[in-house]
Amino acid sequence: MSSTPTPELAAIAPRDKAEILAQALPYIRKFHGKTIVIKYGGNAMTDPALQADFAEDVVLLKLVGMKPIVVHGGGPQIDDALAKIGKKGTFIQGMRVTDEETMEVVEWVLGGEVQQDIVGLINAAGGKAVGLTGRDGAMIRARKLKMLDKDDPSKEHDIGQVGEIESIDPSVVQALQDDQFIPVISPIGFGERNESYNINADLVASKLATVLRAEKLMLLTNTTGVLDKAGKLLTNLSARQIDELFADGTISGGMLPKIAGALDAAKSGVNAVHIIDGRVPHVMLLEVLTDGAFGTMIRSH
């Protein structure tokens, strides 16, 4: 971690810095020893300054006694890699069609390049990160996703090696957490015939948070959070209110799978799910260690 303070930090008087740290204390105490699952994606994953902020936040949360776990996506990086081999990504109803060749690319981009970049960032910030895919420790068992046509449910689309989660065995993650490591997980699962499956990273993060009975699930996005029909940020929602927003069409498009997974986690015992704006510097520290709202919090009840 850089020892040179940023200009903004250098301008803060020592007394004020002490006050800021003191205000964080109740939150540090409250979440000490608790698991926090972070879905890392969007601008926070591609902007170098935000990447550094993210890594510092994860390391700081670990150092003050929390147990962060990072689950990452990598759609744009997969598209770049496919373009290099002259292949264009195809999507049906927002889901990437993943044939055998595409799956190979997905595995080496997510489980290789992207994962190791994140591991390197966290290690450079003073942490000890370890990269895993769902194959490691037989963590994520998956089966082929059956995707029904949204207009004609009797019709099914074949989108190749895209999976849905059958079960998660978190023992490898727990062993690493207990040993001072920060797990960084690529959303790749395996099937009963040892085939690989590409799985939506939001769903992996949500399911992992549920299985680990995490205190918090944080989904970093390129939006300010869940907005109402007038475009106003909804900072605090119950599971019931989210169901209503689905029903009246307020939540639609790309937010649907994200919120569906988040809602599932909230209903299954994860205390708080936060959909936060990854474009805000140090947004995770602000969310965990202050009482400000930096996105939408979904409560289980």
Backbone φ and ψ for 52, nearest 5 degrees, come out as -65, -40
CB 274 within 8 A of CB 215: no
CB half-sphere exposure, 23, CA atoms < 13 A? 13
The single-letter code of the amino acid at 190 is F
What is the enclosing helix (H) or strand (E) of 53? helix 48-63
Q: Which residue carries 């602000």 as its tokens?
A: 286
What is the enclosing helix (H) or strand (E) of 209? helix 201-211
The reply, when asked if residue 75 is annotated as ligand binding, is yes
Q: Which residues contact 239 (CB under 8 A, 6 or more apart)?
A: 263, 266, 267, 298, 299, 300, 301
The reply, when asked if residue 198 is annotated as ligand binding, is yes
CB half-sphere exposure, 52, CA atoms < 13 A? 5
SS3 label, residue 239:
helix
- Tokens encoding 25: 């204390």
Q: Which residue carries 């029904």 as its tokens?
A: 148
End-to-end CA distance of the chain: 39
Residues marked as binding? Answer: 74-75, 96, 198
Residues marked as binding for substrate? Answer: 74-75, 96, 198
